């Protein structure tokens, strides 16, 4: 069987993408880099939906609709996160996550 006609290939790719994104969220301190990593993780989830949609689901439109919703939510999330990053930079003159610790108890 061809490699791009198997569900496991896409699931494995999504897991790799998710793990790379999670490493970025945990290890990077630049807030924009964290946002980029979150986008990678969202894409991994979306890829999973599309793979299940292609190989398992009863109706192929459902997974595509959900992938569209994920894209819309990701766009909203990116807009909010970027505006917060710009506001943080104005206040602290830095976008390092470790400098934004004013609320620490």
Partner 1 sequence: MSVLSTESFAQMAFWVVVGLTIGGACIAVFPRNILYNVLGLAMALSGVAGLYLYLGSLFIALMQLLIYVGAITIAICFAIMLSSPMYLPGPPRSPLKLLGGLLGAGGVFAFLLLLTRRTTWVPAKERVNDWSIKTIGDFLLTDYVLIFEVISLLLLVAMLGAIVTARNGRGT
Q: List binders of partner 1 among 31-50 (CB under 8 A).
A: 32-33, 35-37, 39-40, 43, 46-47, 50
Q: Least CB distance from residue 69 to partner 1, whole Å?
A: 6
Query: For partner 1, which residue of 45, 77, 97, 100 counts as binding (CB under 8 A)?
Result: 77
Query: Phi and psi at residue 104, in whole multiples of 5°?
Result: -65, 135
Q: Is 46 exposed, middle or buried (0-12, 13-18, 19+ CB in 10 A)?
A: buried
Query: For partner 1, which residue of 1, 45, 86, 104 counts as binding (CB under 8 A)?
Result: 86
Q: Is 6 in the site for partner 1 (CB under 8 A)?
A: no
Q: Is 59 exposed, middle or buried (0-12, 13-18, 19+ CB in 10 A)?
A: exposed
């Amino acid at each position: 069987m061809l490699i791009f006609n198997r569900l496991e290939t896409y699931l494995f790719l999504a897991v790799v993408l998710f793990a790379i994104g999670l490493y970025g969220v945990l290890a990077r301190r630049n807030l924009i880099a964290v946002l980029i990593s979150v986008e990678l993780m969202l894409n991994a989830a979306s890829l999973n939906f599309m793979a299940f949609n292609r190989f398992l689901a009863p109706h192929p439109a459902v997974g595509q609709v959900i992938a569209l919703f994920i894209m819309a939510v990701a766009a909203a999330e990116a807009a909010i996160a970027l505006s917060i990053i710009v506001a943080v930079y104005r206040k602290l003159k830095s976008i390092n996550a470790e400098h934004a610790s004013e609320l620490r108890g």
